[in-house]
């Protein structure tokens, strides 16, 4: 169904972002300030075209949306899958097609994502791609995540507004969370190969000036509320029903209606005790951050024909999310939300597997040098987390 672009394997992280070194970008912009990064990808050729993107939006398993501004400032949204008929009847202006997780369907996009590994893999989300006709936009908004918006094709004018939050005035729209006003502070016209970085909370609005494709490299950042909820579930499982609030050696209560400071201190100490152990936190956080967004997806190899693109190497599946955590006496491997404690020889292999999406077979065979590494490697292959290309 999907024809991958035959790419030279290029999975090395970027060493610059246009005029900025990665160090400078991380120090001055990441999570702090938007950055217009000119010509990060000079001569950029998108690995996917608008027809292929529309083809993905016809599929049941692919998440897609169509946003239209049929009346000025009135955006409407429809969710995919769409039909050929939908695309055949669209007007020449003012609509945008958005397709999620294209890195899991297109090899070139997966490779592009790997170039952003100067940020840890477990922090990355999937790659969303939009295709817009002139005038197309998704409206003024802000996101809760960091995003690199790569101008892949055509031109798009971005308006940047101030930092927003839950209290910022919203537009009246039942389907989309849009801002009532963007309060424009800057505008920038992005051309193919340029990148706009937007930190969480900053208002932005990109309007296509020509037919335009934008590739969004997004990142995950759970809300602290979600973190407490998920960690709470983990503790519930670990502690069972017997570890409870306790208050031995109470003194006589003179005011039975009062919640005394001493009691607040007691519960605070119980809570603090359980968040104070870095191993408990790492064990849970690694699993939490590697959980796939949509775990019903099958491995990449079933969906993308990588034959010919890779030779003599071991390639991580596009849906597989891995990370590791090590201390002097323990090595934890996280894979799609599961945690495993590994012995030292598996740990050496695991470290390479987590740090590199593609490894040469030469290196892999040198690392798979005893029974335990062989067994573990086979497990990963059988489960579809890694694919061997000979
Ligand atoms: C788009 O690609 O059209 C929108 C991306 C965004 O604003 O986050
Ligand atoms: Co956005």
* Residue corresponding to tokens 């090899």: 107
CA of residue 275 relative to chain centroid, distance? 26
Q: 139 near 72, Cβ under 8 Å?
A: no
Among 130-139, 227-236, 310-319, 342-351, the least confident range? 310-319
Residues lining ligand 1, Cβ inside 6 A: 96, 130, 132, 138, 143, 147, 149, 204, 206, 214, 216
Among 3.40.190.10, 3.40.50.300, 3.40.366.30, 3.40.50.150, what is the CATH number of 300-389? Answer: 3.40.366.30
Q: CATH fold of 16-219, please?
A: Jelly Rolls (2.60.120)
Ligand nearest to the CA of 190: 1
Neighbours of ion ligand 2 (CB under 5 A): 143
C-alpha dihedral sign at 292, 293, 298, 304: negative
Across 60-91, b (16+ Cβ under 10 Å) vs e yields eebbbbbbbbeeeeebebeebebeeebbeeee
Average pLDDT over residues 308-321: 85
**In the prediction, which pLDDT does 258 show?**
96
From residue 284, give the alpha-carbon distance in Å to each of 223, 303, 340. Answer: 15, 31, 12
Which one has a higher pLDDT value, 390 or 51? 51
Task: Please tell me the distance between residue 39's alpha carbon and the centre of ligand 1 in angstroms.
Answer: 19
Report the candidate in 148, 166, 197 with the shortest Cα–Cα distance to residue 35. Answer: 197
Average pLDDT, the chain: 93
- The confidence band for 293, taking pLDDT boundaries of 50, 70 and 90, is confident
Q: Which of 48, 64, 98, 157 to mutate to test the pocket of ligand 1 (most atoms within 8 A of CB)?
A: 98
Beta-bridge mates of residue 315: 358, 387
pLDDT, tens digit (0-9, with 9 covering 90-100), for 352-381: 999 999 999 999 999 999 999 999 999 999
Domain ranges of the chain: 16-219, 300-389
From residue 348, give the alpha-carbon distance in Å to each of 286, 295, 355, 356, 373. Answer: 18, 27, 11, 13, 9
Return left, alpha or beta for 186; rule: phi > 0 is left, psi -120 to 50 is alpha, else beta: beta
**In the prediction, which pLDDT does 251 show?**
93
Q: 335 near 321, Cβ under 8 Å?
A: yes
CA of residue 175 relative to chain centroid, distance? 23
- The confidence band for 311, taking pLDDT boundaries of 50, 70 and 90, is confident
Q: For residue 1, is pLDDT > 70?
A: no
Residue having the nearest C-alpha atom to atom 1 of ligand 1: 130
Residue having the nearest C-alpha atom to atom 5 of ligand 1: 216
Average pLDDT over residues 203-215: 98
**In the prediction, which pLDDT does 8 show?**
43
Fold match, 16-219 / 300-389 = no
Q: For residue 255, is pLDDT > 50?
A: yes
- The confidence band for 295, taking pLDDT boundaries of 50, 70 and 90, is low
Quick one: what percent of the chain has pLDDT higher than 90? 87
Q: For residue 390, is pLDDT > 90?
A: no
Which one has a higher pLDDT value, 10 or 142? 142
pTM over the 0.85 mark: yes
- The confidence band for 299, taking pLDDT boundaries of 50, 70 and 90, is low
pLDDT, tens digit (0-9, with 9 covering 90-100), for 144-165: 999 999 999 999 999 999 999 9
């Amino acid at each position: 169904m999907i024809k991958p672009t035959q790419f030279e394997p290029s999975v090395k992280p970027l060493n610059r972002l246009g005029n900025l070194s990665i160090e400078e970008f991380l120090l001055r912009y990441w999570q702090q300030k938007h950055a217009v990064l000119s010509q990060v990808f000079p001569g950029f050729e998108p690995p996917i075209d608008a027809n292929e993107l529309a083809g993905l939006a016809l599929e049941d398993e692919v998440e897609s949306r169509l946003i239209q501004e049929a009346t000025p400032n009135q955006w409407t949204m429809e969710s995919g899958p769409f039909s050929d008929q939908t695309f055949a009847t669209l007007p020449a202006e003012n609509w945008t097609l958005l397709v999620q997780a294209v890195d899991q369907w297109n090899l070139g996009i997966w490779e592009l994502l790997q170039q952003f590994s100067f940020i840890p893999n477990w922090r990355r989300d999937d790659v969303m791609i939009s295709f817009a006709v002139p005038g197309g936009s998704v409206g003024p908004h802000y996101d809760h995540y960091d995003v690199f918006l790569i101008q892949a094709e055509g031109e798009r004018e971005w308006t940047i507004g101030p930092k927003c939050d839950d209290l910022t005035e919203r537009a009246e729209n039942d389907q989309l969370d849009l801002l009532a006003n963007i309060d424009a502070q800057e505008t920038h016209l992005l051309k193919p190969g340029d990148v706009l970085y937007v930190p969480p909370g900053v208002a932005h609005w990109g309007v296509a000036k020509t037919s335009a494709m934008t590739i969004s490299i997004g990142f995950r950042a759970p809300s602290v509320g979600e973190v407490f909820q998920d960690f709470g579930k983990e503790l519930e499982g670990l502690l069972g029903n017997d570890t409870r609030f306790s208050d031995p050696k109470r003194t006589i209560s003179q005011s039975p209606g009062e919640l005394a400071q001493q009691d607040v201190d007691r519960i605070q100490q119980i809570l603090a005790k359980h968040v104070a152990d870095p191993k408990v936190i790492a064990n849970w956080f690694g699993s939490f951050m590697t959980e796939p967004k949509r775990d019903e997806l099958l491995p990449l190899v079933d969906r993308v024909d990588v034959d010919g693109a890779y030779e003599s190497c071991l390639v991580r599946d596009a849906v597989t999310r891995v990370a590791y955590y090590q201390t002097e006496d323990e090595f934890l491997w996280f894979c799609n939300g599961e945690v495993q404690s590994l012995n030292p020889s598996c740990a050496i292999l695991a470290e390479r597997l987590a740090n590199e999406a593609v490894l040469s077979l030469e290196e892999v065979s040198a690392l798979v040098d005893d029974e335990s590494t062989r067994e573990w490697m086979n497990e990963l292959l059988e489960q579809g987390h890694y694919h061997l290309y000979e």
